[in-house]
């Protein structure tokens, strides 16, 4: 671990003596995933921008545990930064579930826009209540559906074990469709799909291609049915130890890198979809109508549970 820090310091021409105890940033995505690549870029920029005074060691692939465990450690200050899906937050405060509304937006550009809006800011500020400092919103590509068997209509989804993130609004969508939502964290997914523990999954094209889920897929439904936001956070305890000048530097770097990543997802989604098609995967386009009344039922239930959903819908329609 310290050898790799030393190598990073040499690569960045930073005197080793300057490097204090490094901060740690935890996340569950593997090194090939864009979230991890962005975290690495942020780490390098912060080292360069602070002449090596601040180092952030990126710990991918759930090395620090699942998201519940990472969140717990960030809250206590045992881990300093994290990139987290909305799962742990939405399960505690339904307002964090509003971005998982099906067909809320139609593409990644619109998704990136709403993650800069008023509701996004309100939820970022509300992270104080979790002992966190919110640094910005990221996202992965649009959610798609990868199935191990043939699917023609939504009725073919009935009773199927569909992997979701352990996240109430995602699970609710699959329950509305009559499927059996099966919550499962990302690192467990390849084996579960390969050995038939699940019949399908809700995921994005990037992971489907780069993690190789497509190898066990019969059909991919190019549904673009949901966005998948990410929260970049710092531990309030760790944040308080950083000087105001360095806090400003970190915030600016995070904002810039997250905005670049969110913009890049239009290309990332398109490139990975093209790879899937080229590999001969049976990719079918489906839209909101294909899911029938399940989408409207989801909205009816979640407008009651999450007051910010109506505010978000107004924001989008303005
Ligand atoms: C997922 O669990 O589906 C996931 C998590 C992080 C990034 C992308 C996908």
Q: Is 186 in the pocket of ligand 1 (CB under 6 A)?
A: yes
What pLDDT digit, counting tens, does each position of 86-113 carry?
989 999 999 999 999 999 999 999 999 9
CA separation for the pair 298, 172 (Å, rounded): 7
Residue 37 and residue 40: Cα distance in Å, rounded?
5
User: For residue 20, what pLDDT is reported?
Assistant: 64
The predicted model scores a pTM of: 0.92
Instruction: Give 230-239 pLDDT, tens digit per residue.
Output: 999 999 999 9
For residue 244, with 0-12 CB atoms within 10 Å meaning exposed, 13-18 middle and 19 or more buried, which class applies? exposed
Contact 252, 50 (CB under 8 A): no
Which residues make beta-bridge pairs with 26? 59, 82
**Ligand 1: residue whose CA is nearest its atom 9:** 203
Does ligand 1 have an atom closer than 6 angstroms to the CB of 85?
A: yes
Q: So what's the pLDDT on residue 150?
A: 96
How many Å apart are CA 121 and CA 119, to the nearest integer? 5
SS3 state at 182? strand
Which stretches of 79-228 are DSSP H helices? 87-90, 108-114, 118-125, 168-176, 189-194, 205-210
Q: What are the residues whose beta carbons fall under 8 Å from the beta carbon of 209, sequence distance 6 or more? A: 272, 275, 276
Q: What are phi and psi of 179, to 5 degrees?
A: -85, 175
- Say how far apart CA 275 and CA 281 lie, in whole Å: 9
With residues binned 3-state (H G I as helix, E B as strand, rest as coil), the percentages for the chain, rounded to 5, are 55, 15, 30
Per-residue confidence of the chain (318 residues) as pLDDT tens digits?
444 444 444 444 444 434 468 999 999 999 999 999 999 999 999 999 999 999 999 999 999 999 999 999 999 999 999 999 998 999 999 999 999 999 999 999 999 999 999 999 999 999 999 999 999 999 999 999 999 999 999 999 999 999 999 899 999 999 999 999 999 989 899 999 999 999 999 999 999 999 999 999 999 999 999 999 999 999 999 999 999 999 999 999 999 999 999 999 999 999 999 999 999 999 999 999 999 999 999 999 999 999 999 999 999 998
CA distance 112 to 128: 23
Q: Of 183, 182, 170, nearest to 100 (Cα)? A: 170
57: enclosing H helix or E strand: strand 56-59
Q: How far is the CA of 165 from the centre of ligand 1 (A)?
A: 7
Which one of 167, 189, 204, 208 would you pick to mutate in the ligand 1 pocket, going by the greatest count of ligand atoms within 8 A of its CB?
A: 204
Whether 29 is in the pocket of ligand 1, judged by its Cβ within 6 Å, is yes
The pLDDT mean for the chain works out to 93
Question: Contact, 184 vs 203, CB < 8 A?
Answer: no
Q: Strand 161-164 vs strand 144-147: parallel, antiparallel, or unpaired?
A: unpaired
pLDDT of 227 reads 97
| Ligand 1 neighbourhood includes 202 CB (under 6 angstroms) | no
Give yes or no for a contact between 253 and 234, defined as CB atoms under 8 angstroms apart. Answer: no
* Alpha helices for the chain (secondary structure H): 2-11, 34-49, 67-76, 87-90, 108-114, 118-125, 168-176, 189-194, 205-210, 236-240, 244-278, 294-305, 308-317
3-state DSSP assignment of residue 24: strand
Site to probe by mutation for ligand 1, drawn from 34, 186, 262 as the one with most ligand atoms within 8 Å of Cβ, is 186
What's residue 68's pLDDT?
A: 94
b/e sequence 37-53, b meaning 16+ C-beta within 10 Å: bbbbbbbbbbbeebebe
């Amino acid at each position: 671990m310290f050898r790799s820090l030393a190598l990073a310091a040499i690569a960045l021409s930073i005197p080793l003596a300057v490097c204090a105890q490094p901060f740690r940033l935890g996340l569950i995505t593997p090194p090939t995933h864009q979230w991890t690549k962005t975290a690495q870029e942020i780490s390098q920029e912060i080292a360069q921008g602070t002449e090596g005074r601040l180092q952030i060691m990126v710990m991918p692939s759930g090395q620090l545990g699942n998201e519940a465990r990472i969140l717990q450690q960030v809250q206590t200050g045992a881990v300093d930064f994290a990139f987290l899906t909305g799962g742990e937050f939405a399960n505690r405060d339904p307002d964090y579930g509003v971005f998982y509304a099906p067909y809320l937006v139609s593409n990644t550009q619109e998704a990136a826009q709403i993650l800069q809006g008023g509701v996004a800011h309100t939820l970022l500020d509300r992270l104080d209540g979790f002992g966190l400092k919110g640094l910005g919103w990221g996202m992965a590509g649009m959610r798609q559906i990868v199935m191990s068997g043939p699917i023609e209509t939504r009725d073919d989804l009935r009773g199927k074990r569909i992997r979701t993130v352990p996240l109430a609004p995602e699970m609710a969508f699959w329950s509305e469709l009559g499927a059996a939502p099966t919550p499962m964290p990302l690192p467990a997914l390849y084996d579960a799909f390969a050995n038939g523990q699940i019949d399908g999954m809700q995921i994005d094209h990037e992971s489907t291609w780069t993690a190789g889920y497509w190898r066990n897929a019969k059909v991919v439904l190019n549904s673009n049915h949901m966005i998948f936001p990410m929260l970049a956070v710092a531990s309030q305890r760790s944040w308080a130890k950083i000087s105001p000048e360095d806090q400003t530097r970190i915030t600016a770097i995070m904002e810039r890198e997250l905005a670049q990543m969110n913009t890049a997802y239009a290309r990332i989604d398109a490139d990975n979809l093209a790879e899937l098609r080229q590999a001969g995967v049976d990719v079918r386009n489906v839209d909101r109508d294909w899911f029938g009344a399940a989408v409207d039922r989801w909205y009816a239930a979640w407008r009651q549970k999450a007051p910010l959903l109506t505010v978000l819908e107004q924001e989008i329609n303005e």
